[in-house]
Every structure is written in C-alpha cells, then in structure tokens.
Amino acid sequence: PIRVLVNNAAHDERHTIESVTQEYWDDRFAVNLRHQFFAAQAVAPDMAAAGGGSIVNLGSVSWLVGQGGMPAYLSAKAAVAGLTRALARDLGPKNIRVNCIVPGWIMTERQIQLWLTPEGEQELLRR
C-alpha cells in the first residue's frame, strides 16, 4: 500500500499581469496546484486502508514574501497552503498527515541562467 506521497511539481515562469490570459492562468494552476489535489485523492483510500500515511505538498515561500513578477504562480502556490489545510482537516481522522513545505529559491541551473541577477540575489538575501 502507498504510505507516502510527495507532491512536487512547479512552473515558475515570470509573467506580467498584462500578459496573463485565461489559458495561461489555468495552465499555471494545473501545473502548480491541480495535481496536488488529485494525487492526494488517488492515494488517500490506500493510506486509510493501511492505517495512515503522510502527504507532503511542496509550496513556495514566494507568495509569503510578496515576490513580484509572477502573479499566477504566486496565487497557485498560496492555494497549495489552503489545500494542505483542507486535506489535513479531512484526512486527519483517517490518520493521514498532510503538511506543506515552503522552500525558498532553489538555485537550479535553470533559475541561475534565466533569472538570477545581482539585484535579485540581494533582494533574496534582504528578505
């Protein structure tokens, strides 16, 4: 039986308020939020039957610190926190823990190549 689920997927492409279309908004929520709910929904029965389990959702600190330049991403990652609370409340009685980790900026090659600037790095350190 499945006892652990780690929900980790993201797309943090930078975008402006003016550039966001309905399709882009929906896509950001699909990549950053929707899978977390449906994966949890899929494994919860097995976890409950096994006597419990643990679901770990990956959020982002970006929305907590008010990072600019990607409103759809920040909105979806803020919703991960709300989803986590809702799932924890509903699945807790079945001995299924649901928690959210909110990491800071992970300096992957992609992040460094696309978005890291000296000014941005100083802003991160300031926060």
The CATH homologous superfamily to which domain 4-126 belongs is NAD(P)-binding Rossmann-like Domain (3.40.50.720)
pLDDT at 115: 60
> How far is 1 from 96, CA to CA, in rounded Å?
13
Handedness of CA 43, 106, 101, 72 (dihedral sign): negative
Instruction: Walk along the chain (127 residues) in steps of 10 and give the mean pLDDT of each run.
Output: 92 84 95 96 98 96 80 93 98 99 75 67 65
pLDDT at 11: 75
Which pTM does this prediction carry?
0.80
pLDDT at 24: 93
24 given a catalytic annotation: no
Q: Contact 30/92 with Cβ under 8 angstroms?
A: no
Count other C-beta atoms under 10 Å from residue 107's C-beta: 11
- Residue type present at position 41: Q
From 36, 57, 59, 73, the catalytic residue: 73
